[in-house]
Amino acid sequence: MRILYVYCHPLPESFHAGIRARALGALQAAGHEVDLLDLYAERFDPVLSEDARRHYHDMSRNQAGLENYIARLKRAEVLVVQFPTWCFGMPAMLKGFLDRMIMPGVAFDISDPAKVRPMLDNITCIIGIVTYGRPRFMALWMSDPPRRIVKRYLRWFTGGKARVDYHALYHLNVASEARRVAFIGRVTRALKRLGP
């Protein structure tokens, strides 16, 4: 399967980097075609500029400068998003990526504003790999925005048809080495089983 792996963490020595290495290894060993989109390494510009916002609904102009990223998204059958939760949300870099990519003519058709239609029907599976600094009960108290964005919001743009897997490690700040290793093992086993 063609996989777009969107990775968002600034530190190469982070726990997330360790997860990513094992996850990519599992996907490649299973024979998948993986396109790693490391937002920090690629220096993705997450800022929706005044000009970009002004022409957001103009499909003859709204994709300017994003053509490569849009092609990668449209080519994917599987979308993986890996990120840490900061302030009970996704990092600004990833939020900015979505702000810029989820636009008319790419993720949805707004030709009839009363009946907006999803357009990412090429994506059949969405996988979230997410860590939280706080315990699960606190994330639930805040309605767990990252989980909702991955499981509900992103899925809508596939026409509601994509399967969604969400792998979360809560309370990472105090997680033992055994819990961290177990989480990586759970993620890699799930990715090895990934199929059409």
| Domain map (residue ranges) of the chain | 2-192
Using CA of residue 145, residue 77, residue 67, residue 41, what is the dihedral sign? positive
**pLDDT attached to residue 195:** 75
**pLDDT attached to residue 178:** 97
pLDDT-flagged residues of the chain (< 50): none
**pLDDT attached to residue 196:** 64
CATH architecture classification, 2-192: 3-Layer(aba) Sandwich (3.40)
User: Dihedral (C-alpha) 15, 123, 100, 88: value to the nearest 10 degrees?
Assistant: -40
Question: Which tens digits make up the pLDDT trace of 35-67?
Answer: 999 999 999 999 999 999 999 999 999 999 999
pTM score, whole prediction:
0.96
Helices (H), the chain: 15-29, 50-54, 67-75, 92-101, 136-141, 145-148, 154-156, 177-192
Which one, of 72, 81, 68, 83, lies nearest residue 33 by Cα?
A: 72
